[in-house]
Amino acid sequence: MGIEAALANNDMFLCTTLQKAVNWGRRCSVWPMPFATACCGIELMATASSRYDLARFGAEVMRFSPRQADLMLVAGRVSVKMLPVLQRIYQQMAEPKWVISMGACASTGGVFDTYAVVQGIDQFIPVDVYVPGCPPRPETLMEGIMAIQRIIDEDGLPPSSGKRQPLQIAIQPTHDVKTQPVPLTVGRS
Ligand code: SF4
């Protein structure tokens, strides 16, 4: 029975707790703040496209204002010069808020083992979910967002006491790497 059919029947009622209702609303309307600095950002954009349709999870409303976002999505390498900007935006987001580190660069610096690139954003802001890959596929990012939703369901927000700790969950890759389906030839065969 859909919600419209249930509402048409005036005799029906639901019993729940206020906390469950609030968390249900939160999990179904996670609004990401995209901090996309490199190629992972393209996969992030693809996740919102019609092929993957992030709207099915209620998380397609990208907000470019921290006051309207509750999920910081860091996609790509973060240079030392950009780090204060990242921290400032994170601090400006209201609680409760969550952080996804998307891709090898955001989580570890990736192949950019240089003095100019941050070797893991979790040294500077708390990360809840790490999405692996270079870049991660859109399905893997969705796994990360669903992990956040499960956390919201179970978390019992706001926490009964103290500050919430970063959850530091690592998503498993969702696909097996297969061999190239078509043999590649270079130049004349
Ligand atoms: S993890 Fe790979 S795809 Fe993502 S920003 Fe780094 S180099 Fe680009």
* pLDDT of residue 16 exceeding 60: yes
Is residue 79 domain-resident? Answer: yes
Distance CA 144, CA 117 (A): 24
Q: Using a 6 Å cutoff on CB, does residue 77 contact ligand 1?
A: yes
For 25, the 3-state DSSP assignment is: helix
Could you tell me which residues come within 8 angstroms of residue 75 by beta carbon, excluding any fewer than 6 positions away?
A: 34, 35, 36, 37, 38, 40, 41, 43, 44, 102, 103, 106, 135
Total tally of structural domains belonging to the chain: 1
Q: Over range 99-116, report the average pLDDT.
A: 94
**More confident of the two residues 179 and 25:** 25
CA distances from 97 to 119, 163, 185 (A): 23, 12, 49
CATH number, domain at 107?
A: 3.40.50.12280
Q: Over range 162-189, report the average pLDDT.
A: 70
Q: Using a 6 Å cutoff on CB, does residue 102 contact ligand 1?
A: no
Domain ranges, residue 129: 16-158+165-170
Is residue 31 domain-resident? Answer: yes
What pLDDT does residue 172 have?
77
Distance CA 43, CA 179 (A): 22
What pLDDT does residue 136 have?
92
What pLDDT does residue 17 have?
86
Distance CA 126, CA 61 (A): 23
* pLDDT of residue 95 exceeding 90: no
Rg, Å, the chain Cα set: 19
Ligand 1 pocket check: which of 77, 107, 118 to mutate, most ligand atoms within 8 Å of Cβ? 77
Token output for 115:
């003095």
| Ligand 1, atom 3: closest residue by C-alpha | 135
Confidence band for 168, pLDDT divided at 50, 70 and 90: confident
For residue 102, how far is its CA from the centre of ligand 1 (angstroms)?
9
For residue 112, how far is its CA from the centre of ligand 1 (angstroms)?
9
Phi/psi at 179 (5° precision): -70, 160
Is residue 84 domain-resident? Answer: yes
| Amino acid letter for position 103 | G
Percentage with pLDDT > 90 across the chain: 59
Is residue 96 domain-resident? Answer: yes
pLDDT digits 0-9 by tens, 38-87: 999 999 999 999 999 999 999 989 999 999 999 999 999 999 999 999 99
Q: Using a 6 Å cutoff on CB, does residue 54 contact ligand 1?
A: no
**More confident of the two residues 156 and 137:** 137
For residue 33, how far is its CA from the centre of ligand 1 (angstroms)?
18
Q: Using a 6 Å cutoff on CB, does residue 136 contact ligand 1?
A: no
Is residue 47 domain-resident? Answer: yes
* pLDDT of residue 93 exceeding 90: yes
CA end-to-end span of the chain = 61
Is residue 2 domain-resident? Answer: no
Is residue 177 domain-resident? Answer: no
Confidence band for 156, pLDDT divided at 50, 70 and 90: low
Is residue 116 domain-resident? Answer: yes
* Alpha carbon 89 to its chain's center: 16
What pLDDT does residue 189 have?
56
